[in-house]
Amino acid sequence: MSELAKQPVPATTPGVDAPTWPDGFARRYRAAGHWRGETFGGMLRERAAAHPDRIALVDPAPARRTWTYRELDERADRLAAGFTARGIAKGDRVVVQLPNIGEFAEVVFALFRIGALPVYALPAHRETEIGHFCSLTEAVAYVIPDRHAGFDHRDLATRIAARTPSLRHVFVAGDPGEHTALADVPCDPAEPLAGPEPHELAFLQLSGGTTGVPKLIPRTHDDYLYSLRGSNEICGVDADTRFLVVLPAAHNFPMSSPGWLGALYAGGTAVLCPRPDPETAFPLIGRERITMTGLVPPLALVWTEAGPATDSDLSSLELVLVGGAKYSAEAARRLTPALGCRLMQVFGMAEGLVNYTRLDDDEETVHTTQGRPISPDDEVRIVDDAGHDVPEGGTGHLLTRGPYTIRGYWRAPGHNATAFTEDGFYRTGDLVRRTATGHLVVEGRAKDQINRGGEKIAPEEVENVLLAHPSVHDVSVVAVPDEYLGERSLAYVILRAGAEPLKPVAVKRFVRERGLAAYKVPDLVEFVTAFPQTGIGKTSKKGLRSAAAPAEQH
């Protein structure tokens, strides 16, 4: 691509771009052995030295490619050298939007080596989201596939580059078009890179979000590696683990719970699954002797339905983790008989805290709870609306703080003032209760968010887009129950007086054309003349939600 106007891009500074752990906590987490002073780049180097010829990564499609630990380590070095030669430096942000392909791991480990920060976009994100990530982070580069799922990412990149002054490079896995081929970047390393310190940021993860624009989650090497180590211990991940990455590799769940990074941490093998359907995944489980994977509940339902009838050999599968949204006890009971493996529920968040049921929990606990925290130093409070602890066993707001839970979002001081308590607890927005064994049960949600089968939608983001439609006077987007997805989205629309009548399909098209990810396009649209109001005259989402059930297909 053309070299665009260059302007100095400030590097990140720990504790400045985002609040970090106060010294006393950091000391405690180090003394407890949680933070061990490792980095991702160093971790890969060590694994490559310990077992160079073991297979780290398999990308089965379209032609099977494998990477030994030595090869992945060398690729990361050569790519890091190429990125460095193109001016990408420690602290720079690079938006990475790659599907489940081997280049994903090569790119992020190359960036880890430099100390540049991957910003993990999902393959479904479009111009609105990508534009926001690039401008908020002042990204210097954007890494894409050529085409994925019928969409040409190169055209999108051209438009993003034109409006983002900081963006100097677009790297393409595949046919680069007018941009730079990722395959042309690697070169022989010149001098050793200084690299990041373990307490510094490793990457920016995306929040599910409740606000008009998604927030970015700053994770350090120390804290994320601890969550991997803890997850591996709980899930029994070791060098024999063969983890199938079914969900998008950029999401926190398949990345670290225990995920593909957990598998690499343990010296095991991560196998990238191009599509999550049983027709793709089951034969791969048989061929690659997969032992473990992670699924969102709707996918777990589909796999459970398909399991008994499959010709594929699923006998290697030992453990399936299910999380990201509430998994019903009824569905949970059916998984083991259908797939012939164990189930573990996981309730986590990209901001940090992850809970797992345990391998030695009884069946009832595995089926009816969402697990307990990874760490003895995860602090969990369950409070009422006034912030007081509820009586043991009662339901309340989950607040948490700990050795791998962030103390603030990236460059979002205003939002941080309400998303965190003064003493550093993250307000998760989830309503939970705790059982006598310390397991959490997710009972609901206080945050204004829609959980569409694990994909999170901030209604405000969709509302803001719809408010720009010339015929729309007001809009409110709410969740409605859905048998398969758990929830889907409904947009209530009030049209402007005298405006042209709109069809639901035109409303949906407008959201798509404005460049929002497809999963954020309202599933249902209903036209109304007024919204129910709360006591102080605000739109009552609660009132709208109850008006919506049961909703009909539009």
Instruction: Name the site residues for ligand OOB (rule: CB under 6 A).
Output: 208, 252-253, 257, 323-326, 345-350, 354, 370, 428, 430, 442, 445, 451, 454, 456
User: Least distance to ligand OOB from the beta carbon of 78, Å?
Assistant: 31
CB-nearer residue toward ligand OOB: 154 or 367: 367
C-alpha closest to that of 208 among 445, 29, 6, 2: 445
Give the CA-trace dihedral at 244, 250, 251, 252, to 10 degrees.
Answer: 90
* Residue 10: cis peptide before it, omega within 30 degrees of 0: no
Calculated CA dihedral for residues 20, 7, 170, 43, nearest 10 degrees? -30
Nearer to ligand OOB, 202 or 495 (CB): 202
- In whole angstroms, the minimum distance from the beta carbon of 155 to ligand OOB comes to 28
Give 143-212 as a DSSP string: EEESEETTEEHHHHHHHHHHH-TT--EEEEES--TTSEEGGG------SPP----TTSEEEEEEP--SSS
Give the nearer residue to ligand OOB in terms of CB position, either 216 or 346. Answer: 346
Nearer to ligand OOB, 44 or 398 (CB): 398
Residue 236, both tokens: 């029994």
Asked if 115 and 195 touch (Cβ cutoff 8 Å), the reply is: yes
d(CA 506, CA 471): 11
Provide the angle, in degrees to the nearest 10, between the axes of the packed helices 40-50 and 69-85: 140
Written as one string, the DSSP assignment of 284-339 is: HHHHHT--EEEE-HHHHHHHHHHGGG--S--TT--EEEEESS---HHHHHHHHHHH
Do residues 82 and 188 lie in contact, with contact meaning Cβ atoms separated by under 8 Å? no
Strand partners, 420: 426
> Closest distance between ligand OOB and the C-beta of residue 489, in Å?
15
Shortest distance in whole angstroms from residue 511 CB to ligand OOB: 21
Q: Which of residues 177 and 371 has its CB atom nearest to ligand OOB in the complex?
A: 371
SS3 476: strand
Nearer of residues 98 and 354 to ligand OOB, judged by Cβ:
354
**Closest distance to ligand OOB from the beta carbon of 478 (Å):** 16
Amino acid making up residue 254: P
CB nearer to ligand OOB: give 133 or 347: 347
Nearest to 179 by CA among 136, 144, 218: 144
Least separation, in Å, of the C-beta of 486 and ligand OOB?
Answer: 9
Query: Residue 295 Cβ, how far from ligand OOB at the closest point, in Å?
Result: 10
Beta bridge partners, 347, equal 355
Q: Which is nearer to ligand OOB, 105 or 235 (CB)?
A: 235
**What is the spatial distance between Cα 383 and Cα 319, in angstroms, rounded to a whole number?**
33
Minimum gap (Å) between residue 462 Cβ and ligand OOB:
17
Shortest Å, Cβ 99 to ligand OOB: 18
Closer by beta carbon to ligand OOB, 1 or else 206: 206
If the CB atoms of residues 111 and 442 are measured against ligand OOB, the closer one turns out to be 442
In this complex, which beta carbon is closest to ligand OOB, that of residue 47 or of residue 372? 372
In the complex, what is the shortest distance from the CB of residue 239 to ligand OOB, in angstroms, rounded to a whole number? 23
Q: Cβ closer to ligand OOB: 173 or 366?
A: 366
Q: How far is the CB of 432 from ligand OOB (least distance, A)?
A: 9
C-alpha 364: how far from chain center: 28
Q: Work out how close the CB of 205 gets to ligand OOB at its nearest, in angstroms, rounded to a whole number.
A: 8
Residue nearest to ligand OOB (CB): 348
Residue placing its CB nearer to ligand OOB in the complex, 172 or 295: 295
Cα Rg for the chain, rounded, in angstroms?
A: 23
Residue with tokens 């590097």: 11
Q: How far apart are CA 247 and CA 278, in angstroms?
A: 13
What gap in Å lies between CA 456 and CA 473, rounded to an integer? 25
Query: In the complex, what is the shortest distance from the CB of residue 348 to ligand OOB, in angstroms, rounded to a whole number?
Result: 3
DSSP 75: H
How far does the chain reach from its first CA to its final CA, in angstroms?
Answer: 43
